Copies of this chain bind each other. A is one copy, B any other.
Amino acid sequence: MFEFEITGTSSETRARTGKIKTSRGVIETPIFMPVGTLGSVKSLIVEELEQCSARIILGNTYHLYLRPGIDVIDHMGGLHNFINWEKPILTDSGGYQFFSLAKLAEFSDKGVSFQSHIDGSRHFFSPEKAVEIQMILGSDIMMCLDFCIGYPASEKDTMDALEKTTHWAQRSHDYWQKQKQNSNGKVNALFAIIQGGMYENLRSLSAARITELDFPGFAIGGLSVGEPKELMYGMADYTLPLLEENKPKYIMGVGTPEDLVELSGMGADMFDCVMPSRNARNGQLFTSRGNINIPNAKYRFDANPVDDTCSCYTCRNYSRAYLRHLYKSKELLAYRLNTIHNIHYYLDLMKKIRQAIDNDSFLSFKREFYGERGRDKF
């Protein structure tokens, strides 16, 4: 089961709220998906994710394929059962990791040949195989294999990546449809990915080709790969309206709190990023008044919570002084308490964005958001 319904729109912007319905639960959009790369959102248990209002998390197909291996997850009854998370999971296809992490990835019409970043072992993903693996994982939202390229990239290279992405999307779609027929429709949703780099003409071409196919949702890939912030926003602003209005629009691998506000305003419905959890492990905490670096000496005697407007477990129970001490002492609890706060901050921000859209007060929300940070825009 997969349905998407738009429940609210902003008269001042393209922002909208919606509901994604899956057999494992309803997801209110715009939504942020915490990243559980290897089958855990680093340091957290699933109950903490739920307390932070997480309604869907992301798993990385590339990582799970290498460790623990799809055979293990298959034997354990799928990813949800393995990691003890009953709500929806979106899995990526591996495309981004072939770009960012794997060694010696070779892209052909057939698929991607790559070496494991762990042991150098050689593997091959075809578009069909990427879907097949995600079906074994039991992912509620699967992603098509795509060819992501960095910034800067020539128009020729970008066009080549786009063409492979398009060709693979077609094959993924065919394979997915066939699996659906073989199982009386009991196959989860598959989203396709728009590429096209920083070229508007190629983004248009990619969107036109990919949206010809009847996918239940679309993602914009290849953003936040090193380009300036303004260019990222420009490309998202250009591409989002090219996607079908009545389907979820997912911007992959983005971003900062400011990104979530800006891109929601442009009509994006879904986000994922390692930033809240990774920054937590680096001692950087998000607050309504901007980021703080918890190891800073000025917090040594600070009895206040990280953010006195925050209702997360960490802020309800611990001082900045304690968090600083744990972090400086490299105590494992530091990473966990920091991650709880940052994930809570992100999901609470999404809740505020949804409320602002539903109240049709998105622009005043945005002014307030930047105002609390002592700025007037990103």
Give me the interface of A with B, judged by CB distance under 8 Å.
Answer: 38-40, 42-45, 67-68, 71-72, 75-76, 82-84, 300-301, 303, 313, 317-319, 321-322, 324-326, 328-329, 331-333, 335-337
**Chain B contacts of A329 at CB under 8 A?**
38, 67-68
Q: How many copies does the complex hold?
A: 2
Instruction: Decide if A325 touches B43 in the complex (CB within 8 Å).
Output: no
Instruction: Decide if A319 touches B82 in the complex (CB within 8 Å).
Output: yes
Instruction: Indicate whether A318 sits within 8 Å of B84 (C-beta atoms), given known contacts A43-B333, A325-B39, A336-B336.
Output: yes
A318 to B45, CA, bound (A): 11
Instruction: Decide if B335 touches A332 in the complex (CB within 8 Å).
Output: yes
**Chain B contacts of A319 at CB under 8 A?**
76, 82
Besides A43-B336, A68-B324, A332-B335, 4 new A-B residue pairs in contact (Cβ under 8 A), listed by A number: A39-B331, A40-B332, A67-B328, A67-B329
Instruction: Decide if A331 touches B82 in the complex (CB within 8 Å).
Output: no
A248–chain B nearest beta-carbon distance, Å: 29
**Chain B contacts of A328 at CB under 8 A?**
67-68
Instruction: Indicate whether A321 sits within 8 Å of B68 (C-beta atoms), given known contacts A75-B301, A76-B303.
Output: yes
A84 to B43, CA, bound (A): 20
A79–chain B nearest beta-carbon distance, Å: 11
Instruction: Decide if B42 touches A322 in the complex (CB within 8 Å).
Output: no
